[in-house]
Amino acid sequence: MTARARLILEDARAAASELPRAAGEVGHLDEATIRRRLVATMALLRAVGHVLKEVDSKSSQALNRAINEKWQEPRPPIFTEFIDGYRAAILKRYEHPEIGFDKIMGTLYPRLYLEYEGVPHASVGYLIEEAIRFWEQYLNDVDRRASSYDR
């Protein structure tokens, strides 16, 4: 089973829950706090694949085979552009999406957008939810394949 990758995915989900979910969401987070939480979330989202390949693959031959086969399949833009692309931007070059704030009656309303599939104002909260769904489906598929090889 993809146990270690699933643990990281749960940690990514928890880290993401600490970010503003959408533009205009009321919050009391400053830019530095949002930036740190985004870095942690993106690192965890990308670590799912690394740990799947480097740790979980060693737990059984069937799982190793399923992981290697699945990894050869084309990955969708949520992986290539967001999970992998923004992880590289953030962790390798420390480039972040623009974080804007509106201040209304003393309360900060964070706006956190980035470009995704050519759309310049995709909500990071939405993309993180999509990334989590991607990994859930991906891990479920790997586990199904591995169990069929064990038969």
pLDDT, one tens digit per residue, over 33-86 is 878 888 899 999 999 999 999 999 999 999 999 999 999 999 999 998 889 888
CB 78 within 8 A of CB 134: yes
> Residues 97-119: what's their mean pLDDT?
62
Task: Answer yes or no: is pLDDT of 107 > 60.
Answer: no
Task: Answer yes or no: is pLDDT of 151 > 80.
Answer: no
Beta partners for residue 101, in sequence order: 110
Could you tell me the pTM of the whole model? 0.84
Task: Answer yes or no: is pLDDT of 146 > 80.
Answer: yes
Query: Residue ranges per domain, the chain?
Result: 3-149
> Residues 14-24: what's their mean pLDDT?
73
Using alpha carbons, select from 52, 66, 53, 39 the residue that is nearest to residue 9.
52
> Residues 1-16: what's their mean pLDDT?
96
Question: Of 91 and 12, which is predicted with more confidence?
Answer: 12
Distance CA 56, CA 59 (A): 6
